[in-house]
Structure 1
Amino acid sequence: MKTAKVSIVKVADYNSEEIYTALKRNLSLLGGLENIIKPRSKVFVKINHLSPPSSPDDAIVTHPYFTKEVLRLLLELNLEITVGDDVQSKEKDGFLLSGYRKVCNDLGVRLINLKQRGFREVICNGQILKKVLISPLLHEADYILNLPKLKTHSLTVFTGAVKNLFGIIPYGLRLDYHRLYKQSDVFSQMLVDIFSCAPPHLTIMDAIVAMEGEGPSGGSPKRVGVILASQDSVAVDAVASKIVGFNPMNIFTTQNAHERGLGTGEIEKIEISGEDISDVEVRNFKHSAVAIGFIKRKIPSFLHGFIQGQLTLTPKIILNKCALCMECVDICPKGAAKLDGDLVWIDRSLCIHCMCCHEVCRFQAIKLRQRPLGRIFREV
């Protein structure tokens, strides 16, 4: 029996009218936007605007042209709209470089850095978290609309709809959680805990140009050419990960959310409308070097800790690419990224392998190195 529905529509590029037409079809396949979100309601739109700010051409953020067309559709329903993410930026306005400030100003839509409103503690009752700080904007809205970007991830292997909700908590708390929950499976359980506090009513994924390789910021743009939509965020992640060559239930966030009844992660239980997965699969999509989700299922559990230790990646600065922007030094929760004169280096004795430095580097100046045994295990 099918328990979720995901629509897939092809889109060649970020041409506004083509996106608008595709979105209309995506939503009509789900029964129409007006049957999901009631007119004249309050809607919070959660974009993926990874810190520090970057150009949309880098495929790090949900593309502003994609979001613009979603907002056009929302405005047709006379909705009160707030677009936001928690953005850490040295610039006064962290939404300028990405183009989000212009898009929202042009449409007359409110755009807010979540830290401007502060955060409120809520009971979580999760597997890892029992309480957490989240933006009050989500609970003040009648509907939450999730607009993730399809990307690989050097810690969680894949990032999409579920992980996009990580941005509703404060920047400092995100650093703490990276420090506390270093293992991929435990970190993913924590992500699902946060997701469970504010599950979106509708998810529309920007998979027109995704990120492959060492995402979520150090990878390379890769054209996938689709938009996915569903009222089930977990199902969106399952279908998206399948399109780019993963077994969805090997993605810890998808598996954990499915097992907790927060959505459908098993492909055979998802009704696909629009395009068939087989017609849009990207067969040469590069995955992150971290393959813990796959390895764990091939070895006895008592060996998993040792194997995961070998799979741990250690960041190294590529000096001829380093721009001395200091983002890695500022973000490191343990002070392992250090400035020595005009050189940045990683103190391996302090590094906890949280990947924060790699995540914020916009210049691909941080390479992730794996131990020799880890490289062997990855090929198993």
Structure 2
Amino acid sequence: MATVALTQSEQIGQAITEALQYFRLEPLIRNKRVAVKPNDTWASDQDKTAVTQPDTLRSVLRHIKLYEPSELIVTGGAGAAETDQVFETADLMAVVREEGATFVDHNRGPFQEIELFYAPEIDVAGPQKSIMVNPRILSYETLIVLSQLKVHESATVTLALKNIAMSFPAADYYGHPRASQANKHHFFEDLHSFIAAMHHRFPAQLAITVGHPAMVASGPVGGYTAETGIVIVSDDTLAADVVGARLLGFHVQGVRHLWEASRLGPGEADIEKMQFPAMSLQDAIKIYTRKVYGKEMTFQHP
């Protein structure tokens, strides 16, 4: 069974530490080249709510360092701006420096072509047959994807799978922002199939998703935000996203890239085949909805 740890605290570092204790991190981290991929889509001096917050990144990096990786990397590839500018504006670069991590902007060259896999026999047939990436990402031995709990106007949700899929394609090759450069790629012709194929090719070893803040109504930028203190951690990235989507109010078949990823693999998409050692999913939904909507809900049919 897939293990998904759900925790909540007004101190996000405490919630992250509590959730991570349910996983064997030693074999994932010790003497490994570990890369952490935060959400770095876009930020301005007026609005930093769409990206990973500095205290979130700091807590994760400090926990990883306890297990002595051979190299600790923070890897970024903003989709709507220059990565280093987003990191500086959101105060993430200061955390990278303070914690002694290596910063890699995988939007930069050199570039290497990587083929993607689709499965037409199960009706998963995407538009993008290969992508150009910075080959540095191929050297990561452990990939930890650090995401925000958000809805997305095109992808329905933007969690761990979306975080990787729309960041790894090198923007210096495809153009900035990627969304306005559709003549150079086919990502958006079938965004959901593309995300599923990217997960199949680049599965992360650990997903950490935080509602600090959570974003609803619209996204990935400019939606309504609320501090929830919710943390989702799993060594099954698909399972983490399925649970995150459920908190946001969606079943698997309501988020097509999760449904397609469940058919391509890897990962578990059936909540009945997941275990929740910290907090139950129903309790997490109650806390989440109370924080976001001011009303405790269960998402259960009468």
Indicate the TM-score class for this superposition, using the shorter chain for normalisation.
Answer: 0.7 to 0.9
- Tell me which of 191, 195, 203 is aligned to 2:207: 203
Matched, 1:11 2:9: yes
Partner of residue 66, structure 1 = 56
What amino acid sits opposite 2:289 in the alignment?
R
Instruction: After TM superposition, list the pairs within 5 Å mapping 1:117-132 onto structure 2.
Output: 117-126=109-118, 127-128=125-126, 129-132=128-131
Partner of residue 189, structure 1 = 193
> 1:108 deviation in Å?
1.3
Give the direction of change, closer, same or farther, for the CA distance of 1:101–1:271 in structure 2 (3 Å limit).
same
What amino acid sits opposite 2:8 in the alignment?
K
Matched, 1:220 2:220: no
Partner of residue 255, structure 1 = 259
Q: Deviations over 1:110-158 (max 9, x none)?
A: 1222233433211212332322112322211111111111111111111
Give the direction of change, closer, same or farther, for the CA distance of 1:220–1:149 in structure 2 (3 Å limit).
same
Give the direction of change, closer, same or farther, for the CA distance of 1:273–1:219 in structure 2 (3 Å limit).
same
8 Å contact 1:48–1:62 — kept in the other structure? yes
- 1:206 is paired with a residue whose SS is strand
8 Å contact 1:147–1:203 — kept in the other structure? yes
Partner of residue 19, structure 2 = 26
Alignment partners' CA distance in 2, 1:225 and 1:199: 26
> 1:177 deviation in Å?
5.2
What amino acid sits opposite 1:237 in the alignment?
D
- 1:283 is paired with a residue whose SS is helix
- 1:148 is paired with a residue whose SS is strand
What amino acid sits opposite 1:64 in the alignment?
P
Alignment partners' CA distance in 1, 2:56 and 2:279: 19
- Tell me which of 28, 39, 47 is aligned to 2:38: 47
After TM superposition, the score normalised by the length of structure 2 is: 0.83
Matched, 1:155 2:161: no
What amino acid sits opposite 2:15 in the alignment?
A
Partner of residue 96, structure 1 = 88
Give the direction of change, closer, same or farther, for the CA distance of 1:55–1:158 in structure 2 (3 Å limit).
farther
Partner of residue 300, structure 2 = none
8 Å contact 2:76–2:83 — kept in the other structure? no
Alignment partners' CA distance in 2, 1:56 and 1:84: 24
Alignment partners' CA distance in 1, 2:93 and 2:130: 32
8 Å contact 1:11–1:208 — kept in the other structure? no
Instruction: After TM superposition, list the pairs within 5 Å mapping 1:72-111 onto structure 2.
Output: 72-79=62-69, 80-87=71-78, 89=81, 93-111=85-103
Tell me the matched-pair count. Answer: 274
Q: Deviations over 1:308-342 (max 9, x none)?
A: xxxxxxxxxxxxxxxxxxxxxxxxxxxxxxxxxxx
Alignment partners' CA distance in 2, 1:9 and 1:67: 17
Partner of residue 167, structure 1 = 167
> 1:86 deviation in Å?
1.4
Alignment partners' CA distance in 1, 2:168 and 2:83: 20
> 1:58 deviation in Å?
3.7
Alignment partners' CA distance in 2, 1:277 and 1:92: 36
Partner of residue 141, structure 1 = 140
What amino acid sits opposite 1:9 in the alignment?
T
What amino acid sits opposite 2:266 in the alignment?
L
8 Å contact 1:224–1:280 — kept in the other structure? no
What amino acid sits opposite 1:110 in the alignment?
T
- Flag the structure with larger Rg: 1
> 1:48 deviation in Å?
0.9
Residue range with higher mean Cα deviation, 67-76 or 85-94: 85-94
Alignment partners' CA distance in 1, 2:202 and 2:82: 29
What amino acid sits opposite 1:43 in the alignment?
V
Alignment partners' CA distance in 1, 2:134 and 2:256: 25
Partner of residue 312, structure 1 = none
What amino acid sits opposite 2:9 in the alignment?
V
Give the direction of change, closer, same or farther, for the CA distance of 1:68–1:82 in structure 2 (3 Å limit).
same
8 Å contact 2:40–2:86 — kept in the other structure? no
> 1:169 deviation in Å?
0.8
Alignment partners' CA distance in 2, 1:118 and 1:224: 40
Give the direction of change, closer, same or farther, for the CA distance of 1:92–1:68 in structure 2 (3 Å limit).
closer
Alignment partners' CA distance in 2, 1:274 and 1:181: 37
Give the direction of change, closer, same or farther, for the CA distance of 1:13–1:57 in structure 2 (3 Å limit).
farther
Residue range with higher mean Cα deviation, 83-92 or 269-278: 83-92
Alpha carbon RMSD of aligned pairs, Å? 2.4
- 1:49 is paired with a residue whose SS is coil
